[in-house]
C-alpha cells in the first residue's frame, strides 16, 4: 500500500479560527483611532507618574542622602523606553510611518490593505496594554533607602612636600594595637591637616582591618551635637527621627553601632578636650583596637585627651622647605635671571620652614621676574612682614588663633614681649622671666617658690601652645610667629606704635628720637650703635633693650626724660666703662642688666633706685669700685647676680666681707649668684640664713693659701644649683665634717642645729665644676649630691680618684640604700694625669648621655656595666686611651663599642 496519512480537524474549530481572523483583521483597523487616542492619554498619565516619582527620588537623594531603590530605577528606565517607543508610533516616526499616516487618514477603512491594518492596530492595542501595566506597577511607597557608608571617603589634598617621616611615625602608631589615641600637635600652618588628610586617604590604598573611618573638622567653635550629627550621618543613623532626639539618645545610637566595629575617628583642629564618651564613641583601647587621631596646636590638649602617643609636627627642614618654595614660585620665574635663585633662597629662609608661609610667599613671588622685585621682597619681610602680600590677611590671622586662645591677658602680654628679642635668639628663661617681672606683667609673690612656679607655668603655657619652642633652659620664637607678634603689637590693634623693634638691622645710630615719644617698648639689640648722646623725651617707654651693640658713650641727658622706664638692658657692650650720673632720673627702674660690659664702677647716683628688683653685674671683670652703701640701698632687690664680678677681693670698697655685710641688709633677696675670693667673706656668708637660702650659683675662686676647706655648711644652701671651685693652688682637701646619726647627717656649726637626711643634703645642686686645683686629690663629697646632672673636672694633676673608694665603703656601711649619681647626665674629665678611678660602682644613672675623657692616661676603667642604657650614651676620648681600657668582660666592651667617638682637641 502507498504512504497514507490522515488529519482529523474539527469543522467547528476551522470556522471559529476563520471568524476570529476575519473579525480581528477587521476590528483592529476599525478601532485604530480609538486605540491611538487611548494610548496618547495613557502615555501622558504614565509620564506624569514618572515625573512625580523622579522628584521624590531626587529629593530623597539630595536632601536625605539616600539612594534610590533598584526596582524604582528599573521602572523609570522601562517607562522612558516605552515613552520613546510610543512617541515614535503616535507621532508617525515609526519605520512604517507612511502606512500609519494613511491608516489614520482613512479612518481604518476596509479599502486599505487589511494585513497592514491588522498588524498596526494590533501593535497599538498591545502597547496600550503595556502602558497600562506600567502604570499599575508605578505606585511605590518607598523610593529610596539609606545605604551603608563607604569605609572611608577620599579627601582632596594639595600636593606638597613629602611628610613621609612624620607620616610613618603616625602610621606605625595606627598599626600598633597598644596605641589607641594619637595626638598630632604643632604651630598653625605647619601642615597638621595635610598630614591627617594623607592618613585618611591612606586607608583606601593600604590593606587594613578597620570597618569605618570618620573624618570630622572640629575647629574652635566646639559643639558636641554637631559632631554627633556628623558621626550619625556616617554610620547611617541620621534618619527622619534623628533631629528630634536629644544628645543622650544620639549618644546611645552612636555607641550601639560603633561598639561592634573597629573604627578610626579623625578629629581635625581641636582647641580643647573633646569628651568622646559623651558623644557616644567608645574609648579606643587595646581591646576594641579602634583609633582616635586628632590634630591640635596645643600639647596640653594632647594630654587632656589622654593621648597614648603625642607626635609633634615640626616645620620643614631647609632642603624640603626650599623644594616646596621652588614648586610654588615655578621654574619659569626662578631661572628667568641668574641672580634670582640666590635671592629666592633668602626669601625662603624668612619663612623659617613653615609650610603655610612658604606656600603664601612662594605664590606671591611667582610673578616677580626681576632681581629688584626680589630684593624689595626681602626688605619687606625683614622690616614689616605684614606688608607682604598674603601675610597680613592670610598667614597672620590664622596664627593669631593660637594667640587668642591663650588662657589670660597676662600670657598674651608675655608672648608679645618675646618679639623684642632678635630672630633665632635663644632667650634664657630666667632672663625672660625677670624682664616680665620688671615690666609688671607678672605678679609679685612673697613666696619665692610660688613666684617661680607661676613664671615657669607661663612659659610652659606658651611652649605647649606651640607659640614658643622650648629647649632646656632656653626658649626661642619661630620667625613667622615673631613677625605675627610684632604685627599684633605694632599694627594690628590699639597698641599701634607701641613697639619699635630694629634688631640685627646693622644700625650705627639710634632711630630718630622724635619717633620714641609714643613708644612703650623698644629693642635695638644686635646692632653697631656706638653713642647715645641726644636728649630723648619718652614718657611712655617702659622697656629699652640695647644688648650687643658697640656702645661707648651714653650722654648725660639721655635718660633725663624716661620717667616710666622699668627695664634697661645694656649687657654685652664691652665698650661701656661708666654710666652717666643722669641715670639717677630713672626712678621707676626695676630691672638693670650690666652683665658682660666694660663697666669699671657703679655711680653713687644708683642709690636713687629704690624700686630696683633685678641687678645683673655678672662677667664684669673690669669692675674695680662699688661705692659703699650702694648695694644696701636697693631695699626692694630680689635678684642680684655678681658671678665673676671684678677680679679680686679688694675691688668692692675694701673687700668682700664688707659686701657680705651689705647683702645681709637685703631682706627681700630671693636669688644671688656670687664669686667669693676671700675665705673670711666665705665664712661670714654662712651666718646669714637669708643669704644661704637665696644663693643659686657660687664660685669659690683663688683661695690661694687654703689647704683644707670645710664645705659642710653648703648643705644649708637649699637652692644652690651650680658650684664652681677654681684656681685654688694650695687646696688639698674639701672636707665634709659630718656627724652620723643612723641614716641621717648633722651639720656642725649649723645655726638651726638641724638633722638632715642624705637625700636632702646638697639636694638642689645640679652642676659642679672643679678646675685648676693642682693639689686636690678627690671629690668624695659629691656622693651627697643626689641630683647632680653634670660633673666637670679638669686641670687637677694630683687627683687620683673622683670618689675615694674607702670612704665610700664606710658611708655605705652606715647608710642603707645609699644611691649616688642617679640623675647624672654628663661626666667631663680633662687633663687629670694621675686619675686612676672614677667610682667604685657602676654609675646607676639611666639618664647618662655623655662621658668625655681627655689626657687621663692612667684611667683604665669606666664605671659602666650592662645596666646602663647604651642607646643614649656617647663616650668621647682619644682612640689610644679607648683601646687600652679594661672591661669586666668582652661582652660589656662590645656593648659600648658603638658609643665611642674619637675626640680631637
Domain map (residue ranges) of the chain: 18-145, 164-312, 318-383, 409-495
Give the mean pLDDT of 316-331.
94
- The Cβ of residue 147 has, within 10 Å, a number of other Cβ atoms equal to 10
CA–CA distance, 671 with 655 (Å, rounded to integer): 22
- Which residue has cell 573597629? 262
pLDDT tens per residue, range 556-588: 889 989 999 999 999 999 999 999 999 999 999
Nearest to 770 by CA among 761, 779, 758: 779
CATH class of 164-312: alpha beta
CATH class of 409-495: mainly alpha
Average pLDDT, integer, range 830-854: 89
Q: What pLDDT is stored for residue 118 in this prediction?
A: 66
Mutual angle of helices 114-136 and 70-90, in 10-degree steps: 150
Q: Residue 163: is its pLDDT beyond 50?
A: yes
HEC letters along 401-470: HHHHCCCCHHHHHHHHHHHHCCCCCCEEHHHHHHHHHHHCCCCCCCCHHHHHHHHHHHHHHHHHCCCCEE
What gap in Å lies between CA 342 and CA 376, rounded to an integer? 14
Beta bridge mates, 217 = 268
CB-facing half-sphere around the CA of 176: CA atoms within 13 A: 13
Query: From CA 785, how far away is CA 761, in angstroms rounded?
Result: 6
Between 614-623, 746-755, 759-768, the lowest mean confidence (pLDDT) is in 746-755
pLDDT in tens, 770-799: 999 999 999 988 988 888 999 999 999 999
C-alpha 818 chain-centroid distance: 40
Burial level of 167, CB count in 10 A (0-12/13-18/19+)?
middle
The model's pTM: 0.79
Predicted confidence band of residue 511 (pLDDT cuts 50, 70, 90): confident
Q: What CA–CA distance (Å, rounded) separates 121 from 129?
A: 13
- The C-alpha cell that represents 221 in the structure block: 567653635
Instruction: Using alpha carbons, select from 671, 756, 670, 743 the residue that is nearest to residue 713.
Output: 756
- What is the CB neighbour count within 10 angstroms for residue 246? 8
CA distance linking residue 799 with residue 815, whole number of Å: 26
Report the DSSP pairing between strands 474-476 and 427-428.
Answer: antiparallel
Q: How far apart are CA 891 and CA 13, in angstroms?
A: 113
Place of cell 614648586: 327
Query: What angle do helix axes 32-63 and 11-30 make, rounded to 10 degrees?
Result: 70
Residue 304 to residue 275: CA distance in whole angstroms: 10
Phi, psi (degrees; rounded to nearest 5) at 129: -65, -40
Check residue 903 and give its pLDDT: 84
pLDDT beyond 60 at 450: no
CA distance 545 to 523: 5
Q: For residue 90, what pLDDT is reported?
A: 66
Percentage of the chain exceeding pLDDT 70? 84
Convert the pLDDT of each residue in 634-645 to its tens digit.
999 999 999 999
**pLDDT: is 8 or 148 the higher one?**
148
Helix ranges, 236-388 (H): 247-258, 276-279, 299-304, 318-329, 331-334, 340-350, 355-365, 371-383
Indicate the pLDDT class of residue 11, thresholds 50, 70 and 90. Answer: very low
* DSSP string for residues in 642-655: ETT-SSSTTTTTT-
User: Residue 734: beta bridge partners?
Assistant: 709
Q: What is the model's pLDDT at position 86?
A: 79
pLDDT tens sequence across 693-721: 899 999 999 998 899 988 887 877 888 99
When pLDDT is cut at 50, 70 and 90, the band that residue 653 belongs to is low
**Per-residue pLDDT band at 847 (split at 50, 70, 90):** confident
The per-residue DSSP string of 569-617 comes to E--S-TT-----GGGGG-TT--EEE-TTS---B--GGGGG-TT--EEE-
Q: What per-residue confidence (pLDDT) applies to 728?
A: 94
Distance from C-alpha of 230 to C-alpha of 247, rounded to nearest angstrom? 13
pLDDT at 495: 47
Q: Residues 878-898: pLDDT tens digits? A: 999 999 999 887 788 888 888
149/541: higher pLDDT: 541
Best CA proximity match to 381, nearest among 415, 342, 336, 344? 344
- DSSP 8-class letter at 283: P
Work out the angle at residue 765's Cα, subtended by the Cα atoms of residues 807 and 812, and round it to the nearest 5 degrees. 25
Query: Checking DSSP bridges between strand 567-569 and strand 543-545, what pairing results, if any?
Result: parallel
pLDDT at 185 over 70: yes
**Are the C-beta atoms of 734 and 711 separated by less than 8 Å?**
yes
List, for residues 360-381, the tens digit of each pLDDT value: 999 999 999 999 999 999 999 9
Query: How many residues does the structure list for the chain?
Result: 905
- The cell for 347 is 626669601
Amino acid at each position: 500500500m502507498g504512504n497514507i496519512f490522515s488529519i482529523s480537524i474539527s469543522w467547528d474549530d476551522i470556522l471559529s479560527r476563520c471568524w476570529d481572523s476575519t473579525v480581528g483583521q477587521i476590528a483592529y483597523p476599525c478601532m485604530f483611532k480609538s486605540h491611538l487616542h487611548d494610548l496618547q492619554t495613557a502615555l501622558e498619565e504614565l509620564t506624569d507618574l514618572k515625573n512625580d516619582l523622579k522628584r521624590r527620588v531626587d529629593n530623597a537623594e539630595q536632601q536625605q542622602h539616600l539612594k534610590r531603590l533598584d526596582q524604582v530605577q528599573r521602572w523609570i528606565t522601562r517607562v522612558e523606553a516605552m515613552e520613546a517607543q510610543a512617541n515614535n508610533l503616535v507621532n508617525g516616526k515609526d519605520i512604517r510611518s507612511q502606512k500609519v499616516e494613511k491608516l489614520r487618514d482613512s479612518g481604518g477603512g476596509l479599502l486599505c490593505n487589511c494585513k497592514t491594518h491588522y498588524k498596526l492596530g494590533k501593535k497599538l492595542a498591545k502597547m496600550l496594554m503595556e502602558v497600562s501595566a506600567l502604570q499599575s506597577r508605578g505606585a511605590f511607597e518607598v523610593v529610596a533607602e539609606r545605604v551603608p557608608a563607604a569605609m572611608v571617603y577620599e579627601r582632596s589634598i594639595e600636593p606638597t612636600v613629602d611628610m613621609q617621616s612624620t607620616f610613618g611615625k603616625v602610621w606605625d602608631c595606627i598599626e600598633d594595637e597598644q596605641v589607641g589615641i594619637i595626638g598630632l600637635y604643632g604651630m598653625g600652618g605647619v601642615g597638621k591637616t595635610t598630614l591627617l588628610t594623607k592618613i585618611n586617604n591612606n586607608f583606601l590604598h593600604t590593606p587594613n582591618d578597620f570597618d569605618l573611618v570618620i573624618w570630622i573638622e572640629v575647629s574652635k567653635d566646639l559643639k558636641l551635637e554637631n559632631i554627633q550629627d556628623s558621626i550619625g550621618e556616617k554610620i547611617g543613623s541620621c534618619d527622619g527621627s534623628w533631629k528630634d532626639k536629644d544628645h543622650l539618645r544620639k549618644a546611645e545610637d552612636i555607641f550601639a553601632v560603633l561598639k561592634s566595629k573597629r573604627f578610626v575617628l579623625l578629629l581635625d583642629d581641636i582647641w580643647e578636650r573633646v569628651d568622646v564618651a559623651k558623644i557616644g564613641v567608645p574609648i579606643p583601647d587595646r581591646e576594641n583596637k579602634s583609633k582616635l587621631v586628632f590634630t591640635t596646636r596645643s600639647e596640653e590638649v594632647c594630654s587632656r585627651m589622654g593621648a597614648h602617643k603625642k607626635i609633634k609636627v615640626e616645620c620643614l627642614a631647609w632642603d624640603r622647605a626650599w623644594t616646596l618654595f621652588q614648586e610654588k614660585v615655578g621654574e619659569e620665574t626662578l631661572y628667568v635671571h641668574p641672580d634670582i635663585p640666590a635671592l629666592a633662597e633668602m626669601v625662603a629662609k624668612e619663612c623659617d620652614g613653615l609650610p603655610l608661609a612658604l606656600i603664601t610667599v612662594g605664590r606671591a613671588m611667582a610673578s616677580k621676574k626681576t632681581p629688584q622685585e626680589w630684593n624689595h621682597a626681602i626688605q619687606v619681610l625683614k622690616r614689616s612682614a605684614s606688608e607682604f602680600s598674603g601675610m597680613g590677611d592670610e598667614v597672620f590671622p590664622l596664627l593669631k588663633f593660637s594667640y587668642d586662645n591663650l588662657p589670660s591677658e597676662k600670657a598674651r602680654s608675655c608672648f608679645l614681649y618675646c618679639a623684642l628679642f632678635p630672630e633665632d635668639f635663644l632667650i634664657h628663661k630666667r632672663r625672660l622671666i625677670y624682664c616680665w617681672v620688671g615690666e609688671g606683667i607678672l605678679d609679685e609673690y612673697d613666696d619665692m617658690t610660688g613666684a617661680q612656679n607661676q613664671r615657669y607655668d607661663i612659659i610652659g603655657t606658651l611652649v605647649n601652645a606651640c607659640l614658643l619652642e622650648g629647649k632646656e633652659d632656653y626658649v626661642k620664637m619661630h620667625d613667622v610667629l615673631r613677625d605675627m607678634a610684632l604685627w599684633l603689637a605694632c599694627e594690628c590693634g590699639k597698641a599701634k606704635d607701641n613697639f619699635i623693634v630694629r634688631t640685627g638691622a646693622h644700625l650705627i645710630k639710634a632711630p630718630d628720637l622724635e619717633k620714641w615719644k609714643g613708644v612703650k617698648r623698644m629693642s635695638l639689640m644686635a646692632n653697631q650703635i656706638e653713642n647715645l648722646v641726644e636728649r630723648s623725651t619718652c614718657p611712655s617707654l617702659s622697656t629699652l633693650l640695647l644688648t650687643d651693640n658697640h656702645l661707648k658713650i651714653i650722654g648725660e641727658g639721655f635718660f633725663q626724660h624716661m620717667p616710666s622706664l622699668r627695664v634697661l638692658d645694656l649687657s654685652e657692650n664691652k665698650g661701656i666703662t661708666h654710666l652717666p650720673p643722669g641715670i639717677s632720673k630713672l626712678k621707676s627702674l626695676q630691672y638693670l642688666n650690666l652683665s658682660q660690659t666694660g663697666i669699671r664702677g657703679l655711680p653713687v647716683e644708683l642709690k636713687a633706685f629704690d624700686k630696683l628688683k633685678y641687678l645683673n653685674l655678672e662677667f664684669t671683670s673690669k669692675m674695680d669700685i662699688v661705692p659703699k652703701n650702694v648695694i644696701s640701698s636697693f631695699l626692694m632687690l630680689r635678684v642680684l647676680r655678681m658671678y665673676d664680678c671684678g677680679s679680686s677681693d679688694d675691688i668692692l670698697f675694701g673687700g668682700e666681707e664688707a659686701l657680705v655685710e651689705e647683702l645681709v641688709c637685703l631682706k627681700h633677696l630671693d636669688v644671688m649668684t656670687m664669686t667669693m675670693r676671700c675665705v673670711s667673706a666665705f665664712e661670714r656668708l654662712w651666718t646669714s640664713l637669708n643669704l644661704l637660702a637665696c644663693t643659686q650659683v657660687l664660685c669659690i675662686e683663688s683661695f690661694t693659701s687654703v689647704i683644707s676647706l670645710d664645705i659642710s655648711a653648703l648643705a644649708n644652701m637649699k637652692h644652690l644649683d651650680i658650684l664652681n671651685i677654681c684656681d685654688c693652688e694650695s687646696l688639698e682637701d674639701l672636707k665634709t665634717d659630718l656627724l652620723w646619726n643612723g641614716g641621717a647627717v648633722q651639720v656642725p656649726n649649723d645655726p638651726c642645729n638641724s638633722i638632715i637626711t642624705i637625700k636632702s643634703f646638697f639636694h638642689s645642686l645640679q652642676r659642679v665644676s672643679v678646675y685648676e686645683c693642682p693639689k686636690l686629690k678627690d671629690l668624695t663629697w659629691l656622693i651627697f649630691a643626689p641630683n647632680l646632672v653634670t660633673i666637670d673636672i679638669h686641670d687637677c694633676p694630683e687627683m687620683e680618684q673622683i670618689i675615694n673608694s674607702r670612704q665610700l665603703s664606710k658611708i655605705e656601711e652606715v647608710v642603707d640604700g645609699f644611691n649616688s649619681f642617679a640623675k647624672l647626665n654628663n661626666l667631663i674629665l680633662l687633663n687629670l694625669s694621675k686619675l686612676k678611678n672614677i667610682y667604685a660602682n657602676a654609675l646607676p644613672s639611666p639618664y647618662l648621655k655623655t662621658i668625655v675623657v681627655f689626657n687621663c692616661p692612667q684611667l683604665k676603667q669606666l664605671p659602666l656595666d650592662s645596666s646602663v642604657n647604651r642607646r643614649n650614651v656617647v663616650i668621647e676620648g682619644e682612640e689610644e686611651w679607648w683601646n687600652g681600657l679594661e672591661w669586666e668582660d668582652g661582652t660589656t666592651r662590645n656593648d659600648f663599642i658603638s658609643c665611642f667617638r674619637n675626640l680631637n682637641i
